[in-house]
Chains A and B, each alone.
Chain A
Amino acid sequence: MNASAVALSILLFPAAGALLLAGRGWRMPRVVTQIVGPGVVWLSFAATLWLFFNQVNGDFAYWTWIKSGSFELPFNLLVDNLSIFMCMVITGVGGLIVTYSVGYMAHEDGPSYARFFTYMDVFIFSMLLLVLAGNFVFLIIGWALVGLSSYFLIGFWYQRRSAVLAARKAFVMNVIGDVGMILGTFVLFVTYHAVTYAGVFSHLTSLASVGDSAPLELAAFLLLVGAVAKSAQIPLHTWLPDAMEGPTPVSALIHAATMVTAGVYLVARMHPIYDITTYAHDAVAIIGAVTALFAATIAIVQTDIKRVLAYSTMSQIGYMFLAVGIGAYAAGLFHLLAHGFFKALLFMAAGNVIHAMHDEQDMRKYGGLWNQMRPTSVTFLIGCLSLVGVIPFVGFFSKEQILGAAFSRPGSLGLTVWAIGFATALITGFYTGRMWWLSFWGKPSPQRPVEHPHEAPMVMMIPVAILAVLATVGGVIQTSVLGFGPSAVSSYLDKVVTAAWWEAGRFPGGYTREFLVAIALLTMVLAAALFAGALRMRPWSAVVPWAQRLLERKYYFDEIYNAAFVRTMDAVASIGYRDVEKVVIDGAVVGTGEAAEATAGSLRLTQSGYFRNYVLVFIAGALIAAALLLVRTS
């Protein structure tokens, strides 16, 4: 088995699965869909593991797609540690989620069921293409396909108007990102006349080798637009909360583990560019930090459990952007892995709850689930603790690594983003705790739709359990953060991305990390007090109503965008329709027809029907001919 064939098979498995299910899936018995849908993802996972254990590293070209003059565009896959890492996350976590959705989507009828897994396989394929592509063109193709699959999956229950609108919103914002990516590729192509990674990066070996970095900065900013759109960072973030209209497995896969992490992958892959362009690189970190804080504050007031998790995702990805933005690529990618574990876990456990509650997602109507759905509650708790960053869960190690790198980075940027990140960690504890206490503790809410919720079936419980285990023990691969033990992820990734160029990971005095843990736990307890009722306090919506409103309205981003862009486009469109389309274009087209009709109508009157009139015209014609003859010959 040669490596290039295995690498290609990673893409071919989900593609084949998607084609099979799209073509025949709804006709075959349901068990075929249940096997093919997740099965192809696991096959890809196996192929990825093969590449991992054989330490494959190479740029495999399969065929030349465009050959025009001196420009050649091959279809090539770049298999290195970074892409294998991402593939493992995608196929591993993705495989668990697709397996989970076999049970979650069981209520769908035959064709819908096959359609769901078709879309999931298409998504997996697109995401794999994105991370495996060896040149910008296929990166963009994968990028766009991921956006498309996301549209399909968010709008899966297309009979719901809100789902369709959310899917549309996600797609439009993703397209904005696509445009940025394409323009960035154009800039790079114009500057370096290459579109393969190898071709472009070979020009960027050192800061000195690049004379004028202005086009590079421009390209970096444009690519950043794409990353920001896909990863739902400010200002292109408004689609992510609405995307929760999709089924819960979709939220888990796309909006926790994979699609939204594409932006982080992009910055890591383009690290030769970002290492040189300081402005764009700093922008990445600042955007990440601000988004992290911003999203965390909004999560405090959300009542829908999936929305809390959505804003939490936004916030955590902010952390990843923060990390890759300051140059700690490995730290950011480790958090990507950790986040994949615990966020998918949280979504899927929440999915169990939603499933048991007959699709009720309002947390205020839960309460007391700890006693009635013990396994799900335990796994959800593990996810929460991991999110907050409590030892020994994996979230602690990854968050710790990021904040440590930020703190000890020379320069003011590091310290600033550290402070923001620290504050965000506290707020994270608060909203996570609120989510936990409201949903699982206390007395069952009187508005509960189901009195005795049943636990999830095995096919849904096992992936959740696996992720819980991973979230618990995953930290061991990077315990170097604590000052001892392996740093498997860092050493694995540092081969392909720039290692942090400063001594990272050590807080001054070494106590602050424990401090962080304690603080975070404290905020969870605080949340308990407020929401589990031990402390009687006036809700702050009464104290500072404007703040409550500000947060509930998500800082009015949607309203601003609506007024600035949507209304403007609507106005332009209606002017275009009323004044251009109807008057000019329709006028020209219809007008031509009407002119022809009018002419014909007036000419028609010469056909009086009277024979003698016609003869008169004859004679008149003969007269004219005779007169002409006379003039000619005289």
Chain B
Amino acid sequence: MAGSLDIGGSQFDVSWFLLLAAALFTLGAVGVLVRRNPLIILISIELMLNAVNLTLVAFSRQLENLEGQLFALMTMTVAAAEAVVGLAILVDIFRVRDLEDIDDLSELKG
């Protein structure tokens, strides 16, 4: 079967890793949707990015192609950059007002 991996003598199926990643991704999505603290939201986004990394590396192993890992490295870089900028913005907002609830930032309503 194409999906089976031989790791350290045991037989895995790549779909296990993929499901795990899917679960982590969903958890991250729920975090973004439900939590109101902006920091928690940023952290949840990081969780989602990690889940994607897992998917990439799993496929890389299954297809025996290094591109997945390279992509994962790139993703990591981008995630870092995005976290940096997001936190900088957050700090900037916190200087002006005491932001507890992201729903307070609703000035752009139509």
Binding site for B on A (CB under 8 A): 604-612, 615-616, 619
The answer to whether A611 and B105 touch (CB under 8 A), given A605-B110, A606-B110, is yes
Confirm or deny: B84 has a beta carbon within 8 angstroms of a beta carbon on chain A. no
Q: Is B107 an interface residue (CB 8 A)?
A: yes
Residues of chain B contacted by A607 (CB below 8 angstroms): 108-110
| B interface residues, how many (CB within 8 angstroms) | 13
In the assembly, what is the distance between CA of A604 and CA of B110, in Å?
5
Who on chain B is nearest to A608 by CB? B109
State in angstroms the CA–CA spacing of A611 and B36 once bound together.
10
Give Cα A612–Cα B38 distance, bound, in whole angstroms.
11
Residues of B within 8 A of A608 (CB): 106, 109-110
Residue from A604, A606, A608, A612 having most chain B Cβ neighbours under 10 A: A612
Once the chains bind, are A609 and B33 in contact (CB under 8 Å)? no
14 contacts between A and B (CB under 8 A): A604-B110, A607-B109, A608-B109, A608-B110, A609-B107, A609-B108, A609-B109, A610-B106, A610-B109, A611-B102, A612-B32, A612-B33, A612-B34, A619-B33
**Considering only CB atoms, which chain A residue lies closest to B102 in the complex?**
A611
Question: How far in angstroms is the closest Cβ of chain A from B60?
Answer: 22
Task: Answer whether residue B6 sits at the interface, using C-beta atoms and an 8 A cutoff.
Answer: no
Q: Using A619-B29, A619-B33 as known contacts, say yes or no to A612 and B102 having CB atoms under 8 A apart.
A: yes
The 9 A-B pairs of least Cβ separation, nearest first, read A609-B109, A607-B110, A609-B106, A604-B110, A611-B102, A609-B108, A610-B103, A610-B106, A615-B32
Q: How many whole Å from A459's CB to the nearest CB in chain B?
A: 78
Mark B residues whose CB is within 8 Å of A: 29, 32-34, 36, 102-103, 105-110
Shortest CB–CB separation between residue B99 and chain A, in angstroms? 12
Return the chain A residue nearest B108 by Cβ.
A609
The distance in angstroms between the C-alpha atoms of A610 and B109, with both chains bound, is 8
- In the complex, how many angstroms separate the beta carbon of A535 from the nearest chain B beta carbon? 95
Q: Closest CB-CB distance, B79 to chain A, in whole Å?
A: 18
For A605, what are the chain B residues with a Cβ–Cβ distance below 8 Å? 110
Question: How far, in Å, is A623 (CB) from chain B's closest CB?
Answer: 11
- The chain A residue with its CB closest to the CB of B105 is A611
CB-defined contacts of B105 to chain A, threshold 8 Å: 609, 611
List of B residues within 8 angstroms of A616 by Cβ: 33
Question: How many Å lie between the Cα of A487 and that of B102 in the bound state?
Answer: 111
Complexed CA–CA distance, A440 and B92 (Å)? 102
A609 to B108 CA separation, bound complex (whole angstroms): 5
Are A609 and B32 closer than 8 Å at their CB atoms?
Answer: no
- Cα of A609 to Cα of B102 in the assembled complex, Å: 10
Contacts of B110 in A (CB 8 A): 604-609
CB of A630, distance to nearest CB on chain B (Å): 14
The smallest C-beta distance from B91 to any residue of chain A, in angstroms, reads 18
Q: A325 → chain B, closest Cβ, in Å? A: 79
Closest to B107 in A: A609
Chain A residues in 8 Å Cβ range of B109:
607-610
**For B103, what are the chain A residues with a Cβ–Cβ distance below 8 Å?**
610-612
CB pair A615 B106 closer than 8 Å: no
Task: Select the residue from B36, B102, B108 with max chain A CB neighbours within 10 A.
Answer: B108
CA distance A612 to B102 in the complex (A): 8
Task: Say yes or no: B108 contacts A615, CB within 8 Å.
Answer: no
Closest chain-B Cβ to A511's Cβ sits at a distance in Å of 103
A604–B105 alpha-carbon span in the complex (Å): 18
From B32, which residue of chain A is reached at the shortest CB distance?
A: A615
Rounded to whole angstroms, the CA-CA distance of A609 and B36 in the bound complex is: 14
Question: Once the chains are docked, how many angstroms separate the CA of A256 from the CA of B26?
Answer: 100
A605 (CB) vs chain B CBs: closest residue: B110
Determine how close the nearest CB of chain B comes to the CB of A317; give it in whole angstroms.
75
CB distance from A89 to the nearest CB of B (A): 78
